[in-house]
Amino acid sequence: MKTYKAMDILTFSKQLEGRMKERLNEFSADQDEILKAGHVLTFIREIIAELKQFCYSYKFTDESEEIKFFKEIKPVFLSQFFFYKKVFALRLFDSFKDGKTRQANYYKILQQLERFVQKNLEFYEYCMTNTTYLDKHYFTRNRQNHKSIDRDEKFSTGYDAKLAKILANELLKKHILELLKKSQADRSTDTSITLTWTGSKTDLIELIYALHSADVFNNGTANIKAIASAFEEVFNISLGDYYRTFQDMRIRKRSQTPFLDTLKERFISRLYTE
């Protein structure tokens, strides 16, 4: 077990915080995010272990010092651990998925973060407004009505970990919003998704129903709604009530498939002109 020179816990924490910031700054922006998060997790886990060991042998000078530690010091370290643990899982998920799936997952996580806020709204508001009148209840270890067999009573008040999750969630929210902004910027510069349908909506609906009838998507299992939605996204168009348009095609007086007829004529012409 390490032995420490005589110093107060706030000074010791500041030293650990300095080491943590220095280590985080060592990682370059272009470093692989999964490896970076893994290395950071290992380092912060060691830092927290040192802080825990110091706390075991330390006697707080008064209640205000204990409150400051469990409200302002420990949650900062723990929030970094929670944050990078989430980032590690997020980046690992991203490495196996395409852009659309990654973006859907980002929105899903944001919804989870919002539900956490709603579930803990009272405590969230207390912490974010820097309120103090319940500090003794939340951030000291002398509460007898919140004992837990799976929590270290010497190194936790219970609420310090919840505060750390709030701080981590705020970091995670900012991180995900940046990822969403980047993904949207990437999409705007991707020429493969800048195609816009400039023909008539009726022509496109005619084509969609023809393809659906030919069972060319998902071995014929894709429904017309899924196909229409995909075309709307790819070609940057809103088709409106395509079912009604399809019904109108049934009562056309001339050809019921003018667009398909034109496609066939022009394609055959091209075969003999190029």
| Number of CB atoms found within 10 A of residue 138's CB | 22
Residue 149: is its pLDDT beyond 50? Answer: no
Rounded-to-integer distance, Cα 65 and Cα 63, Å: 5
Residue type, 132: T
Among all chains, which residue has been given the structure tokens 């075991």? Answer: 56
Given a contact cutoff of 8 angstroms between Cβ atoms, the answer to whether 160 and 78 are in contact is yes
Q: What is the pLDDT of residue 150?
A: 46
Residue 67: is its pLDDT beyond 90? Answer: yes
Residue 217: is its pLDDT beyond 60? Answer: yes
Q: What is the DSSP letter of 24?
A: H
Rounded-to-integer distance, Cα 68 and Cα 10, Å: 9
Given a contact cutoff of 8 angstroms between Cβ atoms, the answer to whether 160 and 66 are in contact is no
Rounded-to-integer distance, Cα 177 and Cα 31, Å: 20
Alpha helices in the chain (DSSP H): 9-26, 33-56, 63-68, 74-94, 99-119, 121-128, 135-138, 159-188, 201-213, 224-234, 242-249, 258-271
Instruction: State the first-to-last Cα distance of the chain, in angstroms, to the nearest integer.
Output: 82
Average pLDDT rounded to a whole number, residues 155-167: 93
Q: What is the pLDDT of residue 274?
A: 72
| Least confident span in 13-22, 58-67, 123-132, 191-200 | 191-200
| Number of CB atoms found within 10 A of residue 249's CB | 16
Given a contact cutoff of 8 angstroms between Cβ atoms, the answer to whether 54 and 11 are in contact is no
Rounded-to-integer distance, Cα 10 and Cα 139, Å: 15
158: alpha, beta or left? (left if phi > 0; alpha if psi -120 to 50): left
Q: What is the pLDDT of residues 24-64, one digit of tens each?
A: 888 766 678 888 889 999 999 999 999 999 999 899 999 99
Q: What is the pLDDT of residues 199-213, one digit of tens each?
A: 899 999 999 999 999
Q: What is the pLDDT of residue 28?
A: 62
Q: What is the pLDDT of residue 250?
A: 87
Q: How far is CA 78 from CA 91, 155, 167, 235, 259, in A?
A: 20, 12, 9, 46, 63
